[in-house]
Amino acid sequence: MTIAPKLLADAFSAKPPVAGHPRLRLDTGDGSDTFRSRHDGAGSFARGVYSAIRNPIAHELDHELDENQALEQLAAFSILARWVDEAAVETAR
């Protein structure tokens, strides 16, 4: 796993933040199943889009996407970007 997927998985972790590892919070950390599901899912989604979309394209210089593929992949990253933008940053106390 490269740095970006690891970083995003760590950022969306449902675990409490520790020094040097703040967390992105999509909603209040109430310990509910919904809280854990949203954060586990966001971390998995982030790892997935970087590992399955971004990394292969970055490493294959001659790879061309057709318009529909490009739009679908852009939509996936758009969802991730929205979650990051709307998340609150929780730091260690």
**Mean pLDDT, each 10-residue run in order, the chain (93 residues):** 77 93 90 92 92 78 84 94 95 90
CB of 77 closer than 8 Å to CB of 42? no
pLDDT for res 2: 62
Nearest-CA neighbor of 81 among 55, 42, 52, 27?
42
Segments making up each domain of the chain, as ranges: 3-90
**What is the pTM assigned to this prediction?**
0.83
pLDDT for res 3: 67
pLDDT for res 31: 82
Q: DSSP letters of 67-78?
A: HHHHHHHHHHHH
pLDDT for res 52: 86
CB of 87 closer than 8 Å to CB of 26? yes
pLDDT for res 4: 77
